[in-house]
Amino acid sequence: MSDSKPTSAFASCGREAPAAEPAGALTRLIGEELGRPAPAGLAPLVAEIRRRHGAAVAAILFYGSCLRKARYEDGVLDFYVLVDAYREAYRSRSLAWANAILPPNVFYCEVAGGSGMLRSKYAVISTDDFRRAATLAWLQSIVWARFCQPAVCAYARDAAARAAAVAAGVEAALTVVAVGVSGMPAGPFRAETLWQRVFQETYGAELRVESPETIREIYDAAAERFDRVAVEALRELDRRGVLTAVATGPLLQVDISDRQRRRLRRSWGIRRALGKPIAAVRLVKSMATFGDWLPYALWKLERHSGVRIALTPWQRRHPWIACWPVFVRLLSRRVLR
């Protein structure tokens, strides 16, 4: 996968602009956002991730709830690590193979920080796969669902690596907004309504336990930013001939052909149907890479859903056996859907 060429999100839609043509204001917006200084306290984690994967690391992107809430030492920080090639990022051929077959690989990392332990989980993906995963060329929504949201480039090897991350962020925003508006009813709508729909649908396509309140908080934490992204993404989609966009004060309106709408909804329907099965396979794969993953998974479950499950000493010693009854119980109680 890492040898594939970057693909535009709308390669077969109308009069698409060349993929190399920048998206103007949207590119500047995403570029400025990724270019913000990363919190200084993250340096030990960034250094450890680079040590693990060596010169193959092109960029490290910090995103997620800890960034949103500016909480760095009482949670688990989320990173995406962009690498040149999987074989170069690992000593193990099996890890490189697993990463190429079903990106990303997910790992756990903790290091001592200035005032306590820093904990993180990070996903490894090639730069080429990351760019493709931000578009409808990818069968999963995990990248564009995350990187339509604010992120910070905690490390970039050079200007080209930073530019590649920005380009993927632009495609993620375009993909999310296009899929979102294809499901909106006719007539004007607010950007907030669009983003709530997007978050609900993308979370619903994964094995994630975010509550409706948490989903609303994502928008509320950066409402002005999300509104700007929606407007600039619609303008770029208009420029590419995907739809016709109209902004009237706080309201947005689009004119999208029935054919285009059906195409986008069909594309999203496939991802929604396959999202949970693929997420389950990825979860099993992560068990082999993450480390002491079961206590972490249950801690995160309690944090996001309020459901607490205590592990026995035997379950802690045998997580591969113990996880399945716990998983079935969560499904039966509809904690996971």
Predicted local confidence at residue 117, as pLDDT: 80
Beta bridge partners of 61: 80, 153
State how far the Cα of 104 lies from the Cα of 84, in Å rounded to an integer.
13
Predicted local confidence at residue 144, as pLDDT: 93
Predicted local confidence at residue 64, as pLDDT: 93
If you compute the radius of gyration of the chain from its CA atoms, what whole number of angstroms results? Answer: 20
Predicted local confidence at residue 3, as pLDDT: 41
Task: Domains for the chain: give ranges and CATH numbers.
Answer: 25-190+216-276 (3.30.460.10)
The answer to whether 100 and 88 have CB atoms below 8 angstroms apart is: no
Residue 263 host element (H or E): helix 258-290
**Alpha-carbon distance values, 119 to 62, 115, 124 (Å):** 13, 13, 16
Q: Which residue has the tokens 């193979």?
A: 97
Predicted local confidence at residue 49, as pLDDT: 97
Q: What is the pLDDT along the chain (337 residues), one digit of tens a residue?
A: 444 433 444 433 333 333 434 468 999 999 999 999 998 889 999 999 999 999 999 999 999 989 998 887 778 899 999 999 999 999 999 999 999 999 999 998 888 877 778 889 999 999 999 999 999 989 889 999 999 999 999 999 999 999 999 999 999 999 999 999 999 988 899 999 999 999 988 888 887 666 778 888 999 999 999 999 999 999 999 999 999 988 666 789 899 999 999 999 998 999 888 888 888 888 778 777 776 556 666 666 666 566 666 666 666 665 666 666 766 666 566 555 5
Predicted local confidence at residue 327, as pLDDT: 65
